[in-house]
Amino acid sequence: MPENWSSSRLDLHLDLDTEGGRRARLETALREAIRAGRLTAGTPLPSTRGLAQEMGLSRGTVTAAYDQLAEQGYLLTRPGAATRVADVPPQLPPETAPDTGTRPPAHDLRPGRPDVSAFPTRAWLAATRRVLDRARPEVFGPGDPQGRIELRAALADHLGRTRGVLTTPDRIVITSGYYQTVQLLCRVLTAGGREVAALEDPGHDFYRDTVRRAGLTTYPLPVDAHGADAEFLTARTDAVFLTPSHHYPTGVPLHPGRRQAVCAWARSTGGLIVEDDYDGEFRYDRRPVGALQSLAPDHVAYCGTASKTLGPALRLAWAVLPPDLVAPVVRAKETDDLYTETLGQLVLAEFIATHAYDRHVRAARLRYRRRRELLIARLSAVPGLTAHGVPAGLHTLVTLPPEGPVEAGFLSACADRGVALRGLTELHHSLDGDRPEGLLIGFAAPSERAYPAALDALFAVLEESVTCGKPSG
């Protein structure tokens, strides 16, 4: 039975010119594919017989073309082995040249970023192998918009044990990140006629913009040394977005009295509390504060993610919802992207069930605690700098001396030396009025080896700026 294209060992797409001889056209197509970088160094080509059958050419024509390109240095041929593409630098046209613009900073001290160099590769690979070894065929088919039951069951156990969350698997929805969780919740709120949301001030500007784009009117909920002030919640407020375990950016936990107050508000008005368990796993001086959800499980949408503990590239997050929100959120999820990638869910479920996740978080907690202590020690040696917040999370808020450098000038000076961090002023709800200045210094993103050099670069700017009164902006 003659071979056809579907039985060829290697697929190769070539556009043959309509002019010239067959061999010349084949040579030109292969040469241009190599020059353009579509065929990279080491790529094996189909056999002369296979390519001849696929392109409708004689085997002699293909052989001659291969020999000619080998003589010109484009191909490597060896008896008994496949013909491969030689190492020829691609000749890219100007409009497709590599982007040489923004590059990663030399020293990444931005808040909320974990040390991805410490990702538990071996343990994750072992969990992946176990999942694949016992995977049933349906695992590779369409997924469940609510998320795999294996992961929801593992999370129900884990969150109850480590964060005090009261839930069952049927109340958990798996999403592709906290950003998507916020989008889904806001869509459900607006569809139900909800209009007004309160957000912490200062607070995460990215998610504040997300809530606004969803159609909700937002207003600031002031944050002080005790966390968000629940007295500013009213009967007109439909939802409040909180980071009660470790407020972003000030680093304070929500005071027990205010926890009770915000839950009382939700019960009396029917309002929804959206709890972002930001950095909830990372408390360094004592056991982490339990989730707010345990105080009012029928009024709190508890949101967690693997982004800070494992890495944002996994795109795995979860929402523990009040019973009446599960079905509408699942429907919104189905409309949004149908379902979150399945294999990653199963691997994370295995990772949690075997307690590899616990071991990884404990190791990260020790590592980040040492880094924070080193940062605090160096800050204490620079007069006028004040660190805020409890020992927790992945960043520390630092305020500058009243007569010292201004935030904008300092951030610019840091950027000039390859140090990336964030300022406090842009995280305030309003651009008007008094906006205290400060620096959000992350201590988790650099690798263990890179962290000391990152601190050296940061403090070279800090010490110069505070001592000399520069930069002034």
pLDDT tens-digit series, residues 262-309: 999 999 999 999 999 988 999 999 888 899 999 999 999 999 999 999
The domain ranges of the chain are 20-96, 118-358, 359-468
The residue-averaged pLDDT of 252-268 equals: 97
Which segment of 149-153, 241-245, 412-416 scores lowest on mean pLDDT? 412-416
Which segment of 10-24, 348-362, 401-415 scores lowest on mean pLDDT? 10-24
Can you tell me which residue has the tokens 């005071």? Answer: 255
pLDDT > 90: percent of the chain: 71
Instruction: For residue 467, name the pLDDT band (cuts at 50, 70, 90).
Output: low
Fold of 20-96: Arc Repressor Mutant, subunit A (1.10.10)
What's the whole-number average pLDDT of the chain?
90
The CATH class of the 359-468 domain is alpha beta
Position 431 pLDDT exceeds 90:
no
Q: How many CB atoms lie within 10 A of CB 313?
A: 11
Fold of 118-358: Aspartate Aminotransferase; domain 2 (3.40.640)
Position 78 pLDDT exceeds 60:
yes
Q: What number of residues does the chain have?
A: 473
Instruction: For residue 321, name the pLDDT band (cuts at 50, 70, 90).
Output: very high
Nearest to 146 by CA among 297, 298, 272, 318: 318
Token pair of 75 as six digits: 């191909």
Instruction: For residue 97, name the pLDDT band (cuts at 50, 70, 90).
Output: very low
pTM of the entire predicted model: 0.85
Token pair of 418 as six digits: 């390859």
Position 17 pLDDT exceeds 80:
no
pLDDT score, position 96: 47
The residue-averaged pLDDT of 382-404 equals: 88
Position 7 pLDDT exceeds 70:
no
88 or 156, greater pLDDT: 156
pLDDT score, position 4: 43
pLDDT score, position 1: 38
Using DSSP bridges, classify how beta strands 395-399 and 217-224 pair: parallel, antiparallel or unpaired: unpaired
Instruction: For residue 92, name the pLDDT band (cuts at 50, 70, 90).
Output: low
Position 91 pLDDT exceeds 70:
no
Instruction: For residue 9, name the pLDDT band (cuts at 50, 70, 90).
Output: low
Name the 3-class secondary structure at 153: helix
93 or 208, greater pLDDT: 208
The residue-averaged pLDDT of 418-447 equals: 88
The residue-averaged pLDDT of 337-364 equals: 97
